[in-house]
Amino acid sequence: MKSNSINEKYNSLYEWSIKDPINFWSEQAGHFVEWMRPWTDVLKKSDDKTHAKWFLNAELNVSSNCLDRHLIKRGDKTAIIWEGDDPDDRRQMSYRDLYKEVCKFSNVLKSLNVNKGDRVCIYMPNIIETAVAMLACARLGAIHSVIFGGFSSNALKDRIIDTQCKVVITANEGRRGGKNIPIKNIIDEALIDCPLIEKVVVVKHTQSDANMIADRDVWYHEAMQQSSDVCNAEAVESSDPLFILYTSGSTGKPKGILHSSAGYLLHCSITFQHVFDYKEDDVYWCTADLAWITGHSYVLYGPLSMGATIVLYEGVPTYPTASRYWEMIDRYNVTTLYTAPTILRTLVGMGESYLNDSSRESLRLLGSVGEPIDADTWNWYFTKVGKKQCPILDTWWQTETGGIMLSQLPHMITEKCGEEVKPMFGIVPDLVDDNEKLTTEKVGNLVIKEPWPGQMLTIYNDAKRFEETYFTNRKHGGYYLAGDRALYNEKGTLRVTGRSDDTLNVAGHLIGSTEIEAALIKHEAVAEAAVVGYPHPVKGQGIYAYVALINEYEPDESMIGELLQLVKTEISGIAKPDVLHWTPELPKTRSGKVMRRILRKISNNEFDDVGDTSTLVNPEIVQFLITSRAQYGV
């Protein structure tokens, strides 16, 4: 199809989705999803629009949508091409074999007393069994919560406790960059304080043994041996939850984002089809870890529901060399690559020569997600990786939105970063000012004005926080507040530029500054700490911590080591500050509020414009911080 006609098709579908959402979604739901019982109503929203229910009283099963429905037509088609951290570690699985494996594991879970509505935590490397575990939960109507393998035992414990799950699925070890990661030990440490846990299923992913705890731990391969490969998929209601996924907020504990079954699946499938222009013979590779929302929606559920062949990769982009991605693209004839700017920036930094030994001729489309993509990285992706032949799809969305909300269209080769961004079907974006009123200014805070099918249901265990975080303006419009700043460029294209709150986006991972501060002040020497972001050449945002020590303590190398270790233990290695700036105290207002605005300016080296300091009780500290800033280099 010519690009004009694709554009026209998009325009007319988009218009339909906005003017007549009920009929639009009814038609799409019939096309993209296989149902076990039809709906009585397409959509019911609360008067303040904070809660929306889609496809009421209908039933489906997400796992059977991803597997069973493909068996006749695509049973022998490769569902997953897996490559391990070690390039010689390779495995492929057809739709039929994946279906059988999922059925068997569903029966294992049943035998461990996992039922519809129960929560199951998954702490695994990026391997086929992780996908199997997620799909098996979905098959039973159990709610999975996948936790990123990089989180510490403390972070893991908090999440496991919040889900109140009885069963955890893990592996003896993971592998990354040639190193073995002892994830079973981390789980064991976390579970000391999780009394509800009854069973731990352990996948033997590497040759090493694991310390199996009698009556609690079960080897995956042993349990699977005795398990039948017949397991009927449970019918679940449209709004029954499919999963909980934790994400950081600007304050407090991470939020358990709860997603539905039907609306979520529909949103993932329709966006996968339209954004990636999916075709039956595509080999599609989204490099995200299954533990992030991108892994849920665009490694697993969207592509498998469409019967796609996906690539799943365990390791890092630079092991054994920075050619790894490009070699894999040639090895598997990947047509569509969906990755993150932070990965691209790492590869740019390693030098162009790593591209030389691959042709990448199979590539048709290139996607980006997770943070704003800067013009230099975009140019490298477009010119070097895609040789100016592949459109770049810069997709904006969030854990909370379930799937892609804004993106370029797949047929459009734009010569510049950030052009021609379109809202997905049913998505009505707009900007509000800092008082949450709609604005005609070109810059503002991004809102979504109408509910959409993939929208989160709520925050697990905290409905009040859900309303207070995303719908503070519910009295004037009930718009979903994304927490992002956005702008319209000269051509009227909307572009997201970054967070508007105190969450940091570090290498594509959201981290709450208050989480890092809470970890730092656990150290007996720390009186107070404040964390802000600053521009970082590879990570996008780096972590800059201002730390005030109690009088009798002195900052030195061992103190730095202890504080960094503390953050790693409390949260994860990815949350470790890049800079620790020592200060006698933090700049505060008379009411005791830390002036983050000023701290941000100083960490960004913007000293001319620190703004009004007259409301501070200790304005002299600002000059101290400016003067001492230079010694922290970055």
445, 364, 453, 460: which is closest to 403 by C-alpha?
A: 453
DSSP-based three-state secondary structure for 569 = helix
Q: Which helix (H) or strand (E) holds 598?
A: helix 596-603
Q: Which stretch binds ligand PRX (CB under 6 A): 8-16, 156-164, 365-373, 514-522?
A: 365-373
Site for ligand PRX in 282-301 (CB under 6 A): 293-294
DSSP-based three-state secondary structure for 448 = strand
CB nearer ligand PRX, residue 114 or residue 293: 293
Number of residues that bind ligand PRX (CB under 6 A): 20
How do strand 480-488 and strand 443-448 relate by DSSP bridges? antiparallel
CB nearer ligand PRX, residue 152 or residue 247: 247
Q: Which stretch binds ligand PRX (CB under 6 A): 58-66, 358-366, 379-387, 394-402?
A: 394-402
409 counts as binding ligand PRX under rule CB under 6 A:
no
Site for ligand PRX in 18-77 (CB under 6 A): none
Contact call for residues 180 and 149 (beta carbons, < 8 A): no
* Among residues 287, 398, 514, 572, the one that binds ligand PRX under rule CB under 6 A: 398
Q: Which residues contact 107 (CB under 8 A, 6 or more apart)?
A: 227, 228, 231
Task: Give me 14's structure tokens.
Answer: 């988009």
Q: Which stretch binds ligand PRX (CB under 6 A): 165-173, 197-205, 369-377, 382-390?
A: 369-377
Q: Rounded to the nearest 10 degrees, how much is the dihedral formed by the CA atoms of 172, 97, 264, 411?
A: 110
397 counts as binding ligand PRX under rule CB under 6 A:
yes
CB nearer ligand PRX, residue 241 or residue 372: 372
Q: Which stretch binds ligand PRX (CB under 6 A): 59-67, 266-274, 310-318, 478-486?
A: 478-486
- Given the structure tokens 């996924």, which residue do they identify? 245
* Among residues 237, 394, 502, 517, the one that binds ligand PRX under rule CB under 6 A: 394
Q: Within 10 A of 140 (CB to CB), how many other CB atoms are there?
A: 25
408 counts as binding ligand PRX under rule CB under 6 A:
no
DSSP-based three-state secondary structure for 118 = coil
Site for ligand PRX in 142-201 (CB under 6 A): none
Query: Shortest Cβ distance from residue 507 to ligand PRX (Å)?
Result: 11
**What DSSP state is assigned to residue 574?**
G
Query: Shortest Cβ distance from residue 500 to ligand PRX (Å)?
Result: 9
Q: Which stretch binds ligand PRX (CB under 6 A): 42-50, 271-279, 477-485, 574-582?
A: 477-485
Q: Rounded to the nearest 10 degrees, how much is the dihedral formed by the CA atoms of 403, 406, 410, 416?
A: -140
247 counts as binding ligand PRX under rule CB under 6 A:
yes
* Among residues 126, 346, 395, 603, the one that binds ligand PRX under rule CB under 6 A: 395
264 counts as binding ligand PRX under rule CB under 6 A:
no
Q: Which stretch binds ligand PRX (CB under 6 A): 203-211, 480-488, 569-577, 597-605?
A: 480-488
CB nearer ligand PRX, residue 203 or residue 486: 486
Q: Which helix (H) or strand (E) holds 91?
A: strand 90-94
Q: What x-and-dash track marks residues 193-232 binding ligand PRX by CB under 6 A?
A: ----------------------------------------
- Given the structure tokens 């233990």, which residue do they identify? 569
Q: Which residues contact 557 (CB under 8 A, 6 or more apart)?
A: none
Query: Shortest Cβ distance from residue 375 to ligand PRX (Å)?
Result: 13
485 counts as binding ligand PRX under rule CB under 6 A:
no
Q: What x-and-dash track marks residues 446-475 binding ligand PRX by CB under 6 A?
A: ------------------------------
Directed axis angle between helix 620-629 and helix 596-603, to 10°? 20
Q: Amino acid letter at 85?
A: D
Query: Shortest Cβ distance from residue 521 to ligand PRX (Å)?
Result: 25
Site for ligand PRX in 532-571 (CB under 6 A): none
Q: Which stretch binds ligand PRX (CB under 6 A): 390-398, 469-477, 536-544, 581-589?
A: 390-398
Query: Shortest Cβ distance from residue 205 to ligand PRX (Å)?
Result: 26
371 counts as binding ligand PRX under rule CB under 6 A:
yes
SS (H, E, C) 167-227: EEEEECCEEECCEEECHHHHHHHHHCCCCCCCEEEEECCCCCCCCCCCCCEEEHHHHHHCC
Query: Shortest Cβ distance from residue 540 to ligand PRX (Å)?
Result: 9
* Among residues 326, 396, 460, 466, the one that binds ligand PRX under rule CB under 6 A: 396
101, 56, 26: which is closest to 261 by C-alpha?
A: 56
CB nearer ligand PRX, residue 152 or residue 294: 294
Query: Shortest Cβ distance from residue 509 to ligand PRX (Å)?
Result: 7
Contact call for residues 563 and 525 (beta carbons, < 8 A): no
328 counts as binding ligand PRX under rule CB under 6 A:
no
CB nearer ligand PRX, residue 229 or residue 501: 501
Burial class (CB in 10 A: 0-12, 13-18, 19+), 221: exposed
369 counts as binding ligand PRX under rule CB under 6 A:
yes
Burial class (CB in 10 A: 0-12, 13-18, 19+), 12: exposed
Q: Which stretch binds ligand PRX (CB under 6 A): 268-276, 388-396, 448-456, 553-561?
A: 388-396
The end-to-end CA distance of the chain, in Å, is 49
Q: Which residues pair with 533 in a beta bridge?
A: 543
Q: Within 10 A of 440 (CB to CB), how many other CB atoms are there?
A: 9
* Among residues 231, 363, 459, 510, the one that binds ligand PRX under rule CB under 6 A: 510
DSSP-based three-state secondary structure for 520 = helix
Q: Amino acid letter at 486?
A: A
**H helix runs in 203-323, sequence order:** 220-225, 262-275, 293-294, 302-305
484 counts as binding ligand PRX under rule CB under 6 A:
yes
DSSP-based three-state secondary structure for 461 = coil
**What DSSP state is assigned to residue 234?**
P
Contact residues toward ligand PRX (CB under 6 A) are: 247, 293-294, 369-372, 394-399, 482-484, 496, 499, 505, 510
